[in-house]
Amino acid sequence: MDHTAQGSFFQLYYPCQETQNAEKPDWVPCREYFNGLADFIKINRTVSERIFNHLFGSFKIPAYMDAPFKSDGKCPVVIFSHGLGAFRTLYSAICAELASQGFIVASVEHRDQSASATYYFHSAQDNLVKEWMYYRTLKHGESEFPLRNKQVKQRADECILALNKLTEINSGIPVQNALKTQFDWTTLENSMDLCRIAVMGHSFGGATVIEALCKEVKFKCGVALDTWMFPLQDETFPHIKQPIFFINSEKFQWAGNISRMKKLDSAVIQRKMITIRGTVHQSFPDFTFLTGNWIGKVMKLKGEIDPEIAIDLSNKATLAFLQRHLGLEKNFNQWDPLIDGKDDNLIPGTNVTVLQSAI
């Protein structure tokens, strides 16, 4: 909203009316995102230009851009935080599904230099000048924890800022949107149930979930997808009182990471964990759908399991957990067994053997 790097930048997913003529949003908004992504995954730009344009250039998100908001009653809210090297549009299979189930979802774009690319504006004379911020690689010899810990704190603040912006929108405060869209923001007045707010994220975004829960009690619960625990300080864990749902891939996790999630285990607060068989780290972002089987497997964008089945299990388990801890009156409790890993494609807890440290 406020156009500077200190402002809030997010993609909003919401339930809408069936619209005929609305165009579908671009999946990767513009070239700089491809270039940033190429640099992040360390493939050179000439190759990437052709690959990305051929592979992903024309993809659209299965949604309608700026369609009129429609909902029967107030919508619960989810703030979504992307992973290292990702950006706001890459988790549309998750965010669009939540919106189709009645949630308003803000997928934030972080300005902590963990995104492959992001942009903001600074005002020069009387017009706004667009500036690009790219992924910050670790300097040679630089230790990683101080950077990642600083970034996860900024990411949590940006999730809280996005929530504050949604609160303003919900109360009808006029929106100064730096991006010129046709959307009529006043239709979102009184659209949100601000007692039913969750925070969700993938990998570095999963760590952001934990940091945001610690900082903001308005987040009633968190869903952390294939969380990367490294950026966090264990000292913050006892202060977190909200339920957390860890949904892990089979291939990304390792003992050190899992044992830190286990430090959040509690006898009194619901802390759940499941692992989806045959999944990889990239089974959660949209890339997992965009390539053929063999390219996907070679690039570790796909696991053994059909990506649609994997994301469907993750989304249904998420909806059941959100119903339970946001007190929703929907029928998502039909998927409660998934929270306990009761499905052929799920493992309750983890498949990683964690040596219990005898303290």
Ligand X SMILES: CCN(CC)CCN(C[C@]12C[C@](c3ccc(C(F)(F)F)cc3)(C1)C2)C(=O)Cn1c(SCc2ccc(F)cc2)nc(=O)c2c1C=CC2
With CB under 6 A as the contact rule, the residue among 37, 94, 105, 247 that binds ligand X is 37
Catalytic member of 157, 226, 286, 343: 226
303 is a contact residue toward ligand X (CB under 6 A): no
Say how many residues touch ligand X, by CB under 6 A.
18
State the Cα–Cα distance between residues 159 and 171, nearest whole angstrom.
Answer: 19
User: Toward ligand X, which CB reaches closer, 216 or 226?
Assistant: 226
With CB under 6 A as the contact rule, the residue among 67, 84, 96, 232 that binds ligand X is 84
Are the C-beta atoms of 87 and 117 separated by less than 8 Å?
A: yes
Catalytic member of 281, 314, 325, 343: 281
11 is a contact residue toward ligand X (CB under 6 A): no
Residue 133, SS3 per DSSP: strand
287 is a contact residue toward ligand X (CB under 6 A): yes
CB of 186: closest distance to ligand X in angstroms? Answer: 34
Mapped to the 3 state alphabet, what secondary structure does 186-253 carry?
Answer: HHHCCCEEEEEEEEEEECHHHHHHHHHHHHCCCCCEEEEECCCCCCCCHHHHHHCCCCEEEEEECCCC
Active site residue 239: no
User: Toward ligand X, which CB reaches closer, 151 or 242?
Assistant: 151
User: Toward ligand X, which CB reaches closer, 84 or 326?
Assistant: 84
Structure tokens at 122: 């600074």
User: Toward ligand X, which CB reaches closer, 222 or 285?
Assistant: 285
User: What does residue 293 show for φ and ψ, rounded to 5 degrees?
Assistant: -60, -50
- Interacting residues of 329 by C-beta distance below 8 A, sequence separation 6+: none
Instruction: Show contacts of 165-171: CB within 8 Å, 24+ apart.
Output: 165/1, 165/8, 165/10, 165/106, 166/77, 166/104, 166/106, 166/192, 167/192, 167/194, 170/194
* Interface of this chain with ligand X, residues 177 to 216, rule: CB under 6 A: 203-204
Greatest CA separation for the chain:
64
Is the torsion defined by CA of 165, 75, 244, 342 positive or negative?
negative
User: Toward ligand X, which CB reaches closer, 109 or 193?
Assistant: 109
With CB under 6 A as the contact rule, the residue among 15, 76, 83, 307 that binds ligand X is 83
* Binding pattern for the stretch 265-284 against ligand X, x by CB under 6 A and - elsewhere: ----------------xx--
Active site residue 203: yes
User: Toward ligand X, which CB reaches closer, 82 or 220?
Assistant: 82
CB of 281: closest distance to ligand X in angstroms? Answer: 6
User: Residue 295 to residues 55, 165, 303: CA-CA distances in angstroms?
Assistant: 11, 40, 11
Bridge partners for 78 per DSSP: 105, 198
With CB under 6 A as the contact rule, the residue among 42, 139, 180, 239 that binds ligand X is 42
- 95 CB-contact burial (10 Å; exposed 0-12 / middle 13-18 / buried 19+): buried
299 is a contact residue toward ligand X (CB under 6 A): yes
Active site residue 281: yes
User: Toward ligand X, which CB reaches closer, 90 or 93?
Assistant: 90
Catalytic member of 203, 249, 283, 314: 203
State the Cα–Cα distance between residues 3 and 120, nearest whole angstrom.
Answer: 6
State the Cα–Cα distance between residues 207 and 182, nearest whole angstrom.
Answer: 34
Stretch that binds ligand X, among 11-19, 80-88, 163-171, 339-347 (CB under 6 A): 80-88
Stretch that binds ligand X, among 10-18, 82-90, 163-171, 243-251 (CB under 6 A): 82-90
User: Which residues are annotated as catalytic?
Assistant: 203, 226, 281
Site for ligand X, rule CB under 6 A: 37, 41-42, 83-86, 90, 203-204, 228, 281-282, 285, 287, 299-301
